[in-house]
Every structure is written in structure tokens, then in C-alpha cells.
A and B are shown apart, each in its own frame.
Chain A
């Protein structure tokens, strides 16, 4: 069964600190993997896309990694800001179908 598991379920950090969110997947066939940010009351917005051959990709303070052998991805947020408070959703694309994780709810406190 195609599944995307994320951890932790929720996370509270202080402003300025770094954090890493994890995503494990059992999806086949694999096309690519995306990390989305979803602010409260808004729709998901794509942060990064990782293809099978990519190990690391950065978008500002966000850095995503992908290990296609172990089927794991991570999203690292550097120097967190209050505006980073949101849910971060790992999505694996398989044959055009999006398979979502439940997300990690990140709260950044001053």
C-alpha cells in the first residue's frame, strides 16, 4: 500500500532555531517528491520538488534531502522565523497521482 509517513506530528521551536522534519514513504513507482507548506486556513504551497536523482535542493532557508534507496526525505529549516509556523506536508508523486503525508505542524515561538 502506498503510504507517506511524517514525523514528528508536531514541533515547537524558538525563533532563530533550526529544525528538521522527516518523511518516509513506501510508494511505487516513484516519480518525484514535494514538500508543501500549508498556512492555517490556506491551501498547500509547493516549497521544493525532488526527482529520483537529486539528493539535496535548497529554497532559501529551506533545504530538502532525498535518499531514494532508503525512501526517506527531510526538510531542514534554518534560522526559523515566526512566519514559518505552518503545517509541512510531504507529497510523493507516483504516475501523476499525489500521495500525501499527514503533515508536521510547526510552531515557531518568539
Chain B
């Protein structure tokens, strides 16, 4: 069984540019989560999809962040325009059902210059 895959593994962009992160969950996992870890802080929840629907987006920092999961398969997280404080590692996780253990991807390390 392939794990959760994230692309790219690293991204370096300038302030004001746009970046799109992608997450492919484990096949058959309806639940997909986005998390973020900024330097020196703990990992924090961003949002949760159940299939293609946003179940909880209470952790999204502001409207510069847009997450989509069209078709209920892979998900994208777009940051537009990127700001310096958006730098960090963005993790995606998936689970078959809510409440079951979440499997994490290796993250995308985003650096805003």
C-alpha cells in the first residue's frame, strides 16, 4: 500500500508569489487533513476534508490559503500571495474513517524569501 505522498518536497519562492502544494492520500482514505509546522512551534491543524467536502477549516490562517479536493482524491493547498510568515513544513495526513489513525506524508518544506 502506497503511503501519503506530497509534492513538492521543498519549495522556495519569493514573497508575493503563488505556490500550490499537492497531497495524494492513501487510496480509499476518505479523510484528508492538512497541518503546518512553523519554525520553533508545534504542528497545527489547518483543515479536514471528508471526500470532496470541507469538514473543518477552522485552522486555516487567512484567506490567502485555499484548499481543494476536487473529486475526493488528491488535494491541493494554494497560498496566494505568499508572505514571510507562511514559511514552514506543510503536512498532509489521511485516514479511512474519522477517528482512525492518521497516516502522514513527509511534508512540503516551504520557504518564503
Dominant secondary structure at the B interface: loop
Q: With A100-B42, A101-B42, A102-B41 in contact, is A41–B106 under 8 Å at CB?
A: yes
Interface contact tally, CB-CB below 8 A: 34
Of the four ranges (under 10, 10 to 19, 20 to 34, 35 or more), the interface on chain B belongs to 10 to 19
A89 within 8 A of B: yes
Nearest neighbor of A101 in chain B, beta-carbon distance: B42
Q: Are the CB atoms of A103 and B105 closer together than 8 Å? A: no
- CB atoms of B106 and A43 under 8 A apart: yes
- CB of B14 within 8 Å of the partner chain: no
Query: For window 39-62 of chain B, which residues contact chain A by CB distance below 8 Å?
Result: 40-45
Chain B residues near A96 (CB, 8 Å)?
A: 98-99
Q: In the complex, what residues of B have CB within 8 A of residue A41's CB?
A: 106
Q: How far is the CA of A96 from the CA of B42 in the complex (A)?
A: 18
Say whether B104 contacts A43, CB under 8 Å.
yes
Q: Give residues 44-86 of B contacting A (CB, 8 Å).
A: 44-45
Q: Flag A23-48 by CB within 8 Å of B: 1 or 0 each.
A: 00000000000100000011111100
Alpha-carbon gap, A101 to B43, bound state (A): 8
As a 0/1 sequence over residues 24 to 42 of chain B, the CB contacts with chain A under 8 angstroms (1 = contact) are 0000000000010000111
In the complex, whether B102 has a CB less than 8 A from a CB of chain A is: yes
Q: A residues touching B (Cβ–Cβ < 8 Å)?
A: 4, 34, 41-46, 49, 89, 96-98, 100-103
Q: Which residues of B contact A (CB under 8 A)?
A: 4, 35, 40-45, 91, 93, 98-99, 101-102, 104-107
The 3 closest A-B pairs by CB, nearest first: A43-B104, A100-B43, A100-B42
